[in-house]
Structure 1
Amino acid sequence: MKSIWNGIIAFGLVSIPIKLYSAIETSSLDLDMLDSRDLSKIKFQRINDKTKKEVPYEKIVKGYFYKENYIVLDEHDFEEASPEKSKTIDIQNFVKMSEVNPMLFETSYYAEPEKQGAKAYMLLLNALKKTKMAGLAQFVLRQKEHLCLVYEQNNTIVISRIRFAQEIRSVSEINRPAEKAISKKELDVALALIKQYTSEFNINSYKDTYSDELLKIIKAKAKGKRPTIKKLKVKKAQSDNLYEQLLESLNKKGA
């Protein structure tokens, strides 16, 4: 694996030099966009809006439209915006992982210590493991400041990027149903159904089968065969009554 970021984790006055590696990889197939007429690859070009000519990559700059004009930013400007945090994951406080809203999580990285930081790394790792806490920190990755959690997973320090609060939309934008009267017997059966379906969380039990099925179709088409498409079977309850639907679900699971 190739590291994507080098820097330090600042834990009080303790500095831990680390490398970050992406902990996530996609399971989807790499599909190309083609012209349906001759199956040639489609290329995307960076076109100047005025001249209609392609712009070389080295001539592209970033700018912000401000008061009818573009203000061009360079690498120095991005570094100046957050000079102290550019190479530091600065733990500002510790929180309980159970109190973190799952909607905040974006992606995760494995932190690997440099040789000179091995002991400090193990100290933080064991402290996080024992307390089941996570360090809340900020750092800069690819010219953008991120909020993150530093926690222990599988005897490794993991850095998970999380969203800022203002990035989560308010539920007030959603048309939620009005309160409905739920009877005690309906709630009791719903609770019993949840209990019956309750198990230990084991993500390994679930596999992304879509890509595998798609690859089977690709191989079949390559041989000139017509792929078999699985039809979705919709299961319907025998009654429109909510209580009877719950009971039917409970009895079916029990059987």
Structure 2
Amino acid sequence: MRAIWSGEITFGLVNVPVKLYGATRSHDISFHQVHDEDHGRIRYQRTCEVCGREIDYEHIDKAYDDGDKTVVLTDEELDALPAEDNDEIDVVQFVPNEQVDPILLGSSYFLEPVGRSSKAYVLLRRTLEETERTAVVTFTLRTKTRLGVLRIHGDLLALQTLRWPKDLKEVDFGPSKSKISAKELKMSASLVEQFSGDFDPEQFTDEYQAQLRELLDAKLEQGESVDTEATFGKESSEEDSAEGGKVISLMDALERSVRKRRGAQESEEPEESKGSDSKSSSTKSTSTKKTGTQKAKKTGTKKTEPKKTESGKSGAKKTASKKDGAKKTGGKSSGAKKSA
């Protein structure tokens, strides 16, 4: 096992170095969501409700909402709190075991003794056993100050978190006042006696999880499964994901439209032809001739070059005028970006 915390148990002048390990784990079978048609995985995205973008963890801060206003706290501000650096389990009181209400108990952890000698660890465990006491402690785990108890678990010390008193809900209901006869109470005690015995948790099983495992194993044996890699689908590019399913803002749409328009113009107009429109038209005609010649070679037919006519010249002028209009349109797109 891997330790999740290390520190010291302190009471009076006694320090007991320990490491903290999670004592429990879930036996439940975990599921993930898939599309019922193609079995593609369904994931939860961290999407900002203002800009509509998916946000990485490094750009996410914590915030508190009091109903009218929201206060944002950065990681730096949270790390500056003094509870972050506390690595001690402080024993504040020893109480009788029966005084700890089980409803307050939370997560359980094992404490491992650290160092060459575990005498202080064994002494504390034996003291709790002999006095039938439970140690009430305070400690910090994952940036939160917690209340807990030290109890005995075999040869080890176990740490259990306690819920703070304010965490318990107040209820406004209760049983109605009913009269219980002596005969009813005697019969109830007799029934309890029939079901009495020593507690052995190993004799109990989770029937639902056992039947669920049998169902999964049967479907695997019968071939009713799909390749796990196929459920992830193909990785799409940033452009496809932005336009295909991700919500984009108006500014994103305008910026991409302008970039797309500029890229189309640059692909139509070579670097050498930016000086004049006449050179651009002659370069285009030359590339057209080369393309026609290449096509003719591939098909085995001869390419006849059309004669230059006055109408061809006027067509070139129209093409140049269209380019001027396209450039003006690009300028308007930039203006739309600024206004947005």
- The TM-score range, normalised by the shorter chain, is 0.7 to 0.9
Q: State the distance in 2 between where 1:83 and 1:29 align.
A: 34
Gap change, CA 1:76 and 1:120, over 3 Å in 2: farther
Deviations 1:162-184 (A, max 9, x none): 111111122x333x332122221
Q: State the distance in 1 between where 2:65 and 2:43 align.
A: 28
Q: 1:216 aligned to 2:217?
A: no
Deviation for aligned residue 1:130? 1.6
Deviation for aligned residue 1:221? 2.9
Larger mean CA deviation between 116-125 and 17-26 belongs to: 116-125
Gap change, CA 1:191 and 1:211, over 3 Å in 2: same
Give the match for residue 150 of structure 1. Answer: 150
User: Structure 1 residue runs of 4+, over 4 Å off?
Assistant: 223-226
Deviation for aligned residue 1:69? 3.5
Deviation for aligned residue 1:157? 0.7
Q: 1:100 aligned to 2:72?
A: no
Alignment of 1:50-129 (within 5 A): 50-65=50-65, 68-75=69-76, 77-78=78-79, 80-82=81-83, 86-115=86-115, 118-129=118-129
Give the match for residue 251 of structure 1. Answer: none
Deviations 1:160-209 (A, max 9, x none): 01111111122x333x3321222211111111111221112222221223
Q: Please report the TM-score for the alignment, with normalisation by the length of structure 1.
A: 0.80
Q: 1:197 aligned to 2:195?
A: yes
Deviation for aligned residue 1:53? 0.7
Give the match for residue 3 of structure 1. Answer: 3
Q: State the distance in 2 between where 1:75 and 1:123 align.
A: 41
Gap change, CA 1:8 and 1:37, over 3 Å in 2: same
Deviation for aligned residue 1:148? 0.5
Amino acid across the alignment from 1:74: D
Deviation for aligned residue 1:65? 3.1
Q: Please report the TM-score for the alignment, with normalisation by the length of structure 2.
A: 0.61
Gap change, CA 1:124 and 1:106, over 3 Å in 2: same
Q: State the distance in 1 between where 2:165 and 2:76 align.
A: 27
Decide which structure has the larger Cα Rg and report it. Answer: 2
Alignment of 1:9-48 (within 5 A): 9-48=9-48
Counterpart secondary structure, 2:147: strand
Q: State the distance in 1 between where 2:163 and 2:146 align.
A: 8
More strand by share: 1
Counterpart secondary structure, 1:120: helix
Point out where structure 1 has 5 or more consecutive residues left out of the alignment. 227-255
* Conserved? CA contact 2:16–2:121, under 8 Å: yes
Deviation for aligned residue 1:217? 1.1
Deviation for aligned residue 1:155? 0.8
Give the match for residue 172 of structure 2. Answer: 173
Q: State the distance in 2 between where 1:18 and 1:187 align.
A: 49
Amino acid across the alignment from 2:70: N
Q: 1:132 aligned to 2:115?
A: no
Deviations 1:90-118 (A, max 9, x none): 00001122221111111100001211562
Q: State the distance in 1 between where 2:33 and 2:195 align.
A: 42
* Conserved? CA contact 2:8–2:16, under 8 Å: yes
Give the match for residue 241 of structure 1. Answer: none
Give the match for residue 285 of structure 2. Answer: none
Counterpart secondary structure, 2:169: coil
Counterpart secondary structure, 2:81: helix
* Conserved? CA contact 1:18–1:117, under 8 Å: no
Q: State the distance in 1 between where 2:79 and 2:105 align.
A: 24
* Conserved? CA contact 1:79–1:143, under 8 Å: no
Counterpart secondary structure, 1:58: helix
What value does the CA root-mean-square deviation take over the aligned residues? 2.2
Deviation for aligned residue 1:57? 1.2
Larger mean CA deviation between 98-107 and 66-75 belongs to: 66-75
* Conserved? CA contact 2:61–2:72, under 8 Å: no
Gap change, CA 1:177 and 1:127, over 3 Å in 2: closer
Give the fraction of aligned pairs with identical amino acids, expressed as a percent: 29
Amino acid across the alignment from 1:203: P
Gap change, CA 1:102 and 1:22, over 3 Å in 2: same
Larger RCO: 1 or 2 (CA < 8 Å, sep 6+): 1
Counterpart secondary structure, 1:42: coil
Gap change, CA 1:79 and 1:108, over 3 Å in 2: farther
Counterpart secondary structure, 1:115: coil
Amino acid across the alignment from 1:177: P
